[in-house]
Amino acid sequence: MPHPFPANMDLKEKVYWAFLKLLCAFGRQNWWPRIWNIASVEDEVILGAVLTQNVSWKNVERVLENLKRMGIRGLEDLLKFEDEVLEELLKPTAFVKRKIKTLRGIFRVLRSGNLSREELLKVYGVGEETADVIMLYAYNFPTFVVDEYTLRWFGRFFGFLPKKGEIREILHFEDLFYLKEMHALIDELGKRFCKKEPLCRKCPLRVKCSFARK
């Protein structure tokens, strides 16, 4: 059986080992993927982060491609439409009435000039994951995005699962490249190997993973 981590190696060092292994295995993920590129990166991240809630990213891509073809150049252009029109435009992403309300709330925060993680969390429909995605990928605010893939991987890899806030601190480094790539790499790991039914034998982290070592 492969050797575990050295006894004197702390959690941060183990996290960085995992980061380097995933980066070597999968390469740079270069998030955010641009589709609606006649809009700003910020607007595309905000719209994508909201629309992808509880739905496949492929459905979001369909909406972004349609908006591009229609010549809609950003959130301000989009939100000028009445809700009934928006419901049709965003229909492939489901739960559209709720998402429209969320987008209008985020847009009000942007127009107020008081953008922050705390202000985003006050908006209807914005949870910690959505707020962190927006702050990190749209506005380069250093925060770690903790999603379901992260929780699953963390619990399996380390063999314990603390609260989300503690996980965020353990995984956090003050480096935007790391923060953006590590979140994307963990998601890629979750899609390929660390699934609900894990494929441990092919996982690039298997030699140090508590779950795989069992």
Mean pLDDT, each 10-residue run in order, the chain (214 residues): 77 97 98 94 98 96 97 97 97 96 98 97 98 98 98 97 97 98 98 97 96 91
Q: What is the distance between the alpha carbons of residues 162 and 154, in angstroms, rounded to a whole number? A: 9
Phi, psi dihedrals of residue 91, rounded to the nearest 5° = -50, -40
Q: What is the distance between the alpha carbons of residues 194 and 198, in angstroms, rounded to a whole number? A: 5
Please give the pLDDT value at position 150.
98
Tokens of 169: 């601190």
Q: How does DSSP classify residue 92?
A: G
If you compute the radius of gyration of the chain from its CA atoms, what whole number of angstroms results? Answer: 19
Please give the pLDDT value at position 4.
79
Report the amino acid identity of residue 173.
F
Please give the pLDDT value at position 129.
97
121-155 pLDDT, tens digit each:
999 999 999 999 999 999 999 999 999 999 999 99
- Residue identified by tokens 């719209």 is 47
Work out the end-to-end distance of the chain between its first and last CA atoms, rounded to an integer number of angstroms: 10
Q: What is the distance between the alpha carbons of residues 6 and 10, in angstroms, rounded to a whole number? A: 9
Q: What is the distance between the alpha carbons of residues 51 and 36, in angstroms, rounded to a whole number? A: 13
Question: Interior CA angle at 203 toward 202 and 204, to 5°?
Answer: 115
Close Cβ partners of 115 (under 8 Å, ≥ 6 residues apart): 109, 139
Q: What is the distance between the alpha carbons of residues 145 and 130, in angstroms, rounded to a whole number? A: 8
Residue 19: other Cβ atoms inside 10 A: 17
Please give the pLDDT value at position 1.
53
Question: Interior CA angle at 132 toward 94 and 101, to 5°?
Answer: 35
Report the amino acid identity of residue 45.
V
Please give the pLDDT value at position 6.
85
